[in-house]
Structure 1
Amino acid sequence: MRKTHKKLFGSRVVKTGVAVFLTSLICQWLNWPAVFAVITAIVTIEPTVNDSIKKGIIRFPASAIGSAYAVFFISLFGNSPLTYTAAAIFTIITCFKLKLHAGLLVATLTSVAMIEVIHDHYLIAFFIRLGTTSIGLLVSTAVNMFVLPPNYSSRILTNIDTALANTGEELKAIAKDILFQTQDCAQRVRVQETFAQLKKKLDTTDKLLHYQQSEAKYHRLSKELKQELQDEEEKLTALRLVHYHIGNLINTPLEDITWTKEQCTHIVTTVQALADTMENPDSFRIQQHRQYIKNLMEQFWQCKKEEQLIYKEDPSTFFNPEIVILYELLSIYHLVEQMLNTNDEQTKKASLH
């Protein structure tokens, strides 16, 4: 029930209602038909103020084009099927040619809807449509800016925390079921699906971050909020890199791994510790984290020495799978440390305040 309540009465729903009410109220006061202004007001409530302004600049001339075609063709053919067809087609073609894509739908709706209500005084009707369109654009943009201004910070942080935890789970699966050749095909499919879902989650979070950065142009942010926005961007960048390194692990050819069972178990333990830290960031301890890094580094250099001996015998040999795996794990360890150190610094600052 709570989820339904949030979905039905989110900030954009509330803002749309306020914009429609104010727009229709102004049109009623001016004795202008409100329907065209209300249509414009509804579509102008965008995720950010910046989008409302940018798309509004496109929708105004597009609506003017649609209105002009409606007036022109009704003066030629009257209220007939030919008028509706010609107005719609020419509005679409003109908006497309002028690259007014964001305003194409509204312009076409305005054009065909006007035909029904215009009976005479075509020029006056045209300017009234421009006026109602302007009212819808201005009111919606103002409402978007001042009524419940868009704030995506909490969603961004939630997405980042969720993505970090999911990445940890995926890392466990890779270590147990892929790196060490358990031949579990179903598990490999699940890993690939999780990898794709994480990509979508990161893309969504990136879009939210872009929205939040756009909002910063129109609402003055405190020093703390600016720092928070920068930290969110850095965390998201680090998560994308972690995702990239996991992709490399998934796609590393693993047929020729020469590690002993003991070495494999050591890697699994190390990955398990990293995954637990990613799933529970509060358990992060820098000394313990760096000890695992040190152990991985020792194993990495040992593999490097062995590879150099192989290279002398066969110069055409590229990096062996062991070195690739260790390099990717070390990279992920480094990125996770960066992210969780940022968390610790934020916690310390919050406690000081």
Structure 2
Amino acid sequence: MDYREAGVDVEAGRAFVNQIRNLVHSTFRPEVLGGLGGFGGCFQLPSGYKEPVLVSGTDGVGTKLKIAHMLNRHDTVGIDLVAMCVNDILTNGAEPLFFLDYVATGKLEPEQLTQVVAGIASGCKQAGCALLGGETAEMPGFYQAGEYDLAGFCVGIVEKSLLLDTSQVQIGDIAIALPSTGVHSNGYSLVRKIISDNNLAWDDKPNILGGKSLGDTFLTPTQIYVKPILAARASGLEIHGMAHITGGGLPENLPRCLGAGQAIKIELNWTIPPVFEWLAQTGDVGQAAMYNTFNMGVGFVVIVPPQQAEQTINYFASYNITASKIGEVVSGTGELIGIPT
């Protein structure tokens, strides 16, 4: 008996690394030292910082992967993996420098996982960070055939004087929403239950979704906000706080950028994508549950001084991003006033 008979193909693992080598190298920044295949990835800090602060983040894709497995479509979930990490550290004002991935599977299928890594590389390019390395674990008996799980880790950098925390947000500041591309990567246990309970198929095309199938709709990758946000700050726009709207929706995530004694009065005036109306109707999901589970069309929020609100909206319009004012910071205890409860 050998390791292959036990379900682990070491040679296939080596071949897979060679297969993805060019994908990984295509993401490298000038600060990357060395290549793929070492025990650790080396990255030299960029020059020009007086007091550099490193910001780290980690996340996964969750049960959205179940849809990728069922449809055998693996080219977009890697973008989700990167987005969930880089959007998080962006809220501190950090520029993502490098990214690491961890892929665990029951049996290594090179074509399948190459698609996954291609998505990760695409996400890294969108965020401007290097895919510095990763780990592929073949774990027979732990995962079902054809299934895998993903975890991601990123490190970014920000000048200490530009680091955002809750202390910069002021009463009277304005919350500006940047739209999501749909459900992003949260709430998928509820999504799958709605589809299962209603005996729907992933290739069904409800009229409200404009001809898109359920599979296409729910595999739409998470938007990466890094480049327009960093460019906005570099242009001189004053941003006091930021929130990445992930699991728990606006009620859980937006208060995380507020200081003590602050709340946000929300105006429900943004365009909610049809997918959320479909979920609410098909699953008979109440408004409070919708807002506490999904992003409802808001993927990212920036908090700006009132005198810069219109300028901020116009700036993002130059990036073809339809930003909108959704609220104002008021006195309170961390609540969102005006959100269905």
Aligning the two structures, in what range does the TM-score lie when normalised by the shorter sequence?
under 0.3
- Structure scoring higher RCO (CA < 8 A, sep ≥ 6) equals 2
Q: TM-score, normalised by structure 2?
A: 0.25
Pick the structure with more strand per residue.
Answer: 2
Question: In terms of Rg, which structure is larger?
Answer: 1
